């Protein structure tokens, strides 16, 4: 007893119960929206319990009529029993349907909500989690909560009512049978405590291993080409087998404990049942009860024992439920992006779209969360009708600057803001998630999604006509190969643009950015796979459009550099403006 008290005292001190309560409140936030369905589900469960008791009474009367203990209408009693049995079956099916319906709706609601919250979570914080881990939390943990919301509280009420009602019937008819309902309770309580501890550990280990396997599979399937190119097939198959071995070992450890627990519970249940049989026979022989009553008691004894086990099993269920909630809360409680100025920025965009919008970076400072300093007092400027180049050694911060401009990561010092017109006539807004609508971005690599070319284009402009899409493809020098495809813009692309060359994928990505038609265009090594003539033509087309563009490119290629109005080099954590001679040397030494 002292050890048990000490155990729970330790858990309370560690804050585990407080944390479980916080997780339960978080789950309740989703469950309360479906209170009507939960009430209906609970009421049907209670009605089902009453009907089951009616079946027990009808069974008693039927046995007594058959054995001659009492006179009665055999056909009528038998019909009542059949009717109650059918009613119980119908109620069970309806309850299952309601459970499935609400479960699916809650599951869809939670997943949609978590999906949205993941997308608006601070990007840098989100990168701490592997994609496989995010998928496991979003899929498996969300489903656990959706199942638990409907089943936990309603089932607790139903089980409790079932136990109390069955126990009351036993007490009223023969109190001596009530003792058999509690014979297995000590074993159930002891096992539930053991299972609770093991359940927490198993859930955490299982979730971690599931995330690990999901991440491994996702990375392997996404990089099949690399695996083949480096002849890593055997290595990755071996790694998968090792992960599977670890997973199976973990599951078998818990399964072994479950087997022993089940055998012990079954043995205890059988002993209780046989004891009840023996006591029932004795009571019949002594004339205290009739055969029908003994049959009813034996059935109710099983109901009492089973319901008591169900009630105690709710504790490990609650542990599993709150564990899943905690894993999701880790994600959704990370810092969120502030998109509060979206409408103001939209109005600024519409007002100045035809004038052009420039931006200024003034003494910007940024360091990774690891402490690595990337920029310190960095300054640069880009104006409408200009191509501005950003150069520097690999890993020195070119892509990081793009992320800063897109507010994927926030600077720790300095300022960055937008302004309208070529002469900075009007000051605009500081960088924020809301200002992303001012940008079109073409990142490195193949960034096409699976689906048709038209669908990829309309991702950035849903109402774009076929003519607008084709015009953007022409501007990006992509129409020359798209028009030759069997289905034209409705040709299907595989995952990550499979089936396209790097140059084709880059031109499609540029076309998508141009279709978005924003004042500022960011090209992150976006023309690296194009030949010189195509690269020059694409850049000319970009700058020769109807509306003024502010274009920032990260590149080392002579073609792009020769077309830049200004070129900044990342040196000593700053953006140094290069003079004409330095740019020429860079082009000559390419």
- Cβ burial of 393 (10 Å; 0-12, 13-18, 19+) is exposed
Rounded Cα distance, 531 and 527, in Å: 8
SS3 content of the chain, % helix, strand, coil (to 5): 65, 10, 20
Closest CA to 165 of 304, 306, 15, 2: 304
Q: Cite the residue boundaries of each domain of the chain with CATH code 1.20.1560.10.
A: 16-332
User: Any residues with CB less than 8 A from the CB of 96 and at least 6 apart, and which?
Assistant: none
**151: its two tokens:** 């089943």
Q: Cite the residue boundaries of each domain of the chain with CATH code 3.40.50.300.
A: 344-588
Backbone dihedral angles phi then psi of residue 145, each to the nearest 5 degrees = -70, -40
Closest CA to 528 of 510, 503, 550: 503
**154: its two tokens:** 């309603």
Question: Within 10 Å of residue 518's Cβ, how many Cβ atoms?
Answer: 21
SS3 per residue for 272-308 = HHHHHHHHHHHHHHCCCCCHHHHHHHHHHHHHHHHHH
Closest CA to 339 of 434, 260, 254: 434
DSSP labels, 184-232: THHHHHHHHHHHHHHHHHHHHHHHHHHHHHHHHHHHHHHTHHHHHHTT-
The answer to whether the Cα torsion of 15, 21, 26, 27 is positive or negative is positive
Which value, in Å, is the radius of gyration of the alpha carbons in the chain?
35
Backbone dihedral angles phi then psi of residue 579, each to the nearest 5 degrees = -85, 175
CATH 1.10.1200.10 describes domain 344-588:
no
**590 residues of the chain, pLDDT tens digit each:** 445 445 444 544 455 677 778 888 888 877 777 777 778 888 888 888 888 888 777 777 777 777 665 555 677 777 777 887 788 788 788 877 877 777 787 788 888 888 888 888 888 788 788 777 788 788 888 888 877 776 777 888 888 888 888 888 877 777 776 676 566 556 555 655 555 556 556 666 776 777 777 778 777 776 776 677 667 788 888 888 888 888 888 777 777 776 776 677 677 667 766 777 777 777 777 777 777 777 777 677 777 777 777 776 676 677 778 888 888 888 888 888 887 788 988 999 888 888 889 999 999 999 887 778 899 999 999 999 899 999 888 778 888 999 999 988 888 888 888 888 766 655 667 888 889 999 999 888 777 888 889 998 998 888 999 999 999 999 999 999 999 988 899 988 877 666 788 888 889 999 999 999 899 999 988 777 788 888 888 888 888 877 889 999 988 777 788 888 899 999 888 999 988 888 888 877 76
For residues 571 and 505, the answer to whether their CB atoms sit within 8 Å is no
pLDDT of residue 187: 58
The secondary element (H helix, E strand) that includes residue 6 is helix 2-14
CATH assignment, 16-332: 1.20.1560.10
Specify the 3-state DSSP secondary structure of 134: helix
Backbone dihedral angles phi then psi of residue 363, each to the nearest 5 degrees = 50, 50
pLDDT of residue 34: 75
Question: 């585990």: which residue's tokens?
Answer: 16
Rounded Cα distance, 309 and 189, in Å: 9
**92: its two tokens:** 């069970």
Output the CA torsion 508→511→516→517 (10° steps): 170
- Strands ordered across the beta sheet of 413-420: 373-382, 357-367, 413-420, 426-430
Rounded Cα distance, 26 and 150, in Å: 15
């Amino acid at each position: 007893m002292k050890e048990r008290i000490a155990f729970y005292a330790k858990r309370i001190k560690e804050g585990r119960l407080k944390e479980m309560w916080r997780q339960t409140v978080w789950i309740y936030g989703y469950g309360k929206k479906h209170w009507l369905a939960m009430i209906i589900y609970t009421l049907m469960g209670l009605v089902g319990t009453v009907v089951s008791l009616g079946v027990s009474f009808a069974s008693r009367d039927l046995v007594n009529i058959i054995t001659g203990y009492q006179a009665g209408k055999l056909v009528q009693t038998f019909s009542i029993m059949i009717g109650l049995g059918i009613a119980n079956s119908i109620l069970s099916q309806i309850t299952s349907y309601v459970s499935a319906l609400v479960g699916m709706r809650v599951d869809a609601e939670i997943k949609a909500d978590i999906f949205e919250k993941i997308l608006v979570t601070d990007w840098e914080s989100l990168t701490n989690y592997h994609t496989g881990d995010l998928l496991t939390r979003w899929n498996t943990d969300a489903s656990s909560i959706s199942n638990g919301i409907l089943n936990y509280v309603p089932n607790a009420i139903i089980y409790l009512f079932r136990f109390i009602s069955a126990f009351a019937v036993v007490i009223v008819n023969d109190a001596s049978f009530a003792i058999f309902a509690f014979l297995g309770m000590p074993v159930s309580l002891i096992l539930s405590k053991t299972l609770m501890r093991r359940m927490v550990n198993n859930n955490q280990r299982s979730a971690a291993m599931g995330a690990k396997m999901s991440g491994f599979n996702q990375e392997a399937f996404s990089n099949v080409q690399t695996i083949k190119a480096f002849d890593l097939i055997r290595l990755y198959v071996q790694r998968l087998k090792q992960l599977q071995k670890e997973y199976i070992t973990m599951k078998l450890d818990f399964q072994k404990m479950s087997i022993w627990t089940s055998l012990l519970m079954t043995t205890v249940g059988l002993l209780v049942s046989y004891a009840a049989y023996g006591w029932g026979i004795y009571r019949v022989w002594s004339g205290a009860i009739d055969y029908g009553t003994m049959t009813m008691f034996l059935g109710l004894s099983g109901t009492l024992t089973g319901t008591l086990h169900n009630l105690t099993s709710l504790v490990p269920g609650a542990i599993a439920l709150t564990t899943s909630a905690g894993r999701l809360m880790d994600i959704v409680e990370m810092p969120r992006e502030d998109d509060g100025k979206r409408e103001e920025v939209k109005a600024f965009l519409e007002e100045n779209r035809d004038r052009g919008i420039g931006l200024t970076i003034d003494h910007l400072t940024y360091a990774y969360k690891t402490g690595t300093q990337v920029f310190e007092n960095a300054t640069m400027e880009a104006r409408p009708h200009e191509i501005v180049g950003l150069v520097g050694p690999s890993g020195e911060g070119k892509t990081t600057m793009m992320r800063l401009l897109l507010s994927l990561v926030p600077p720790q010092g300095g300022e960055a803001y937008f302004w309208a017109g070529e002469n900075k006539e009007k000051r605009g807004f500081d960088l924020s998630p809301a200002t992303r609508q001012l940008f079109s971005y073409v990142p490195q690599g193949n960034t096409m999604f699976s689906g048709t070319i038209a669908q990829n284009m309309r991702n950035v402009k849903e109402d774009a006509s076929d003519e607008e899409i084709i015009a953007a493809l022409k501007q990006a020098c992509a129409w020359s190969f798209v028009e030759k495809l069997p289905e034209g813009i409705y040709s299907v692309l595989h995952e990550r643009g499979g089936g396209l060359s790097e140059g084709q994928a880059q031109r499609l990505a540029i076309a998508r950015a141009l279709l978005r038609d924003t004042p500022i265009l960011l090209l992150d090594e976006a023309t690296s796979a194009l030949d010189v003539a195509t690269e020059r033509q694409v850049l000319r087309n970009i700058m020769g459009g109807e509306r003024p563009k502010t274009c920032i490119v990260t590149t080392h290629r002579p073609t792009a550099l020769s077309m830049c109005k200004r070129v900044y080099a990342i040196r000593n954590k700053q953006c140094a403006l290069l003079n004409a001679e330095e740019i020429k040397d860079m082009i000559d030494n390419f």
